[in-house]
């Protein structure tokens, strides 16, 4: 690896171990085994390096989940079973990547003071909507058309954020894939029910 790759690897390690705000340029240089000057040369600033490392870490998480979902898809399973399995795998990934999710929430809490991060988060969220939609399409969930895909992707993004918060704070009582599938069945039934009792 060259200095640039070493810096990214060192920055990711620091994000996992210390979080965003507590990581210094010296921490990254030490973890990467390079000089402080290398940060400015390759990334202009510590912030640009950390932002790049965080983005790369989130991409790696998405690729890992996609691999897990496509590895052993059984064509005999029902859409509900695939939905449950998909969420169980997403939830299981939170443990392996807990530190990076904590860092995400650390940054969201400071977003009003970090306008450059807001721009990056907006771009990442837009890409995440499509990515989540594609991920659940692997699980048999389809949404035809760009607008429908955006709406459904936004819904999955909302669910992901909510489950993640519950898992970070109280994993013992956070919902499972089965809980989420059952909740959707109940909600869909309530929405479809006609309060006037008409057919």
Q: What is the pTM of this model?
A: 0.74
Rounded Cα–Cα distance for residues 1 and 5 (Å): 6
- Cα–Cα separations (whole angstroms), residue 131 to 77, 124, 140: 23, 10, 14
DSSP assignment of 28-76 equals: HHHHHTS-HHHHHHHHSSHHHHHHHHHHHHHHHHHHHHHHHHHHT--TT
Answer yes or no: are the C-beta atoms of 49 and 36 closer than 8 Å: no
User: What pLDDT does residue 42 have?
Assistant: 93
| Confidence (pLDDT) at 104 | 85
Statement: residue 71 has pLDDT above 70: no
Residues 134, 136, 141: CA angle, nearest 5 degrees: 105
Residue 48 has pLDDT above 60, yes or no: yes
* Planar angle of CA 9, 13, 14, nearest 5 degrees: 120
| Token pair for 70 | 């496509």
Yes or no: say if 84 and 180 are a contact pair by the CB < 8 Å rule: yes
pLDDT of residue 142 exceeding 60, the answer is no
Structural domains of the chain sorted by starting position, each given as residue range(s) with its CATH number in brackets: 50-191 (1.10.357)
pLDDT confidence bin for 38, thresholds 50/70/90: very high
Across the chain, mean pLDDT equals 84
* pLDDT per position as a tens digit, 83-130: 888 889 888 888 888 888 888 888 888 888 877 778 877 877 877 787
What gap in Å lies between CA 110 and CA 106, rounded to an integer? 7
Q: Compute the distance between CA of residue 165 and CA of residue 91 in angstroms, rounded to an integer.
A: 11
């Amino acid at each position: 690896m060259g200095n640039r790759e070493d810096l990214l690897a060192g920055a990711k390690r620091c994000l996992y171990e210390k979080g965003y705000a507590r990581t210094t340029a010296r921490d990254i240089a030490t973890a990467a085994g390079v000089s402080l000057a290398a940060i400015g040369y390759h990334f202009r600033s510590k912030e640009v390096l950390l932002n790049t490392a965080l983005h790369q870490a989130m991409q790696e998480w998405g690729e890992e989940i996609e691999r897990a979902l496509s590895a052993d898809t059984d064509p005999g399973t029902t859409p509900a079973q695939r939905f449950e399995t998909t969420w169980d795998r997403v939830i299981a990934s939170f443990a392996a990547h807990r530190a990076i999710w904590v860092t995400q929430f650390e940054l969201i809490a400071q977003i009003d003071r970090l306008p450059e991060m807001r721009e990056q988060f907006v771009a990442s969220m837009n890409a995440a909507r499509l990515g989540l939609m594609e991920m659940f399409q692997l699980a048999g969930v389809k949404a035809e058309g760009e607008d429908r895909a955006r709406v459904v992707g936004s819904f999955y993004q909302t669910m992901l954020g909510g489950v993640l918060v519950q898992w970070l704070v109280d994993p013992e009582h956070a919902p499972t894939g089965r809980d989420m599938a059952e909740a959707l069945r109940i909600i869909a039934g309530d929405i479809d029910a006609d309060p006037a009792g008409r057919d």
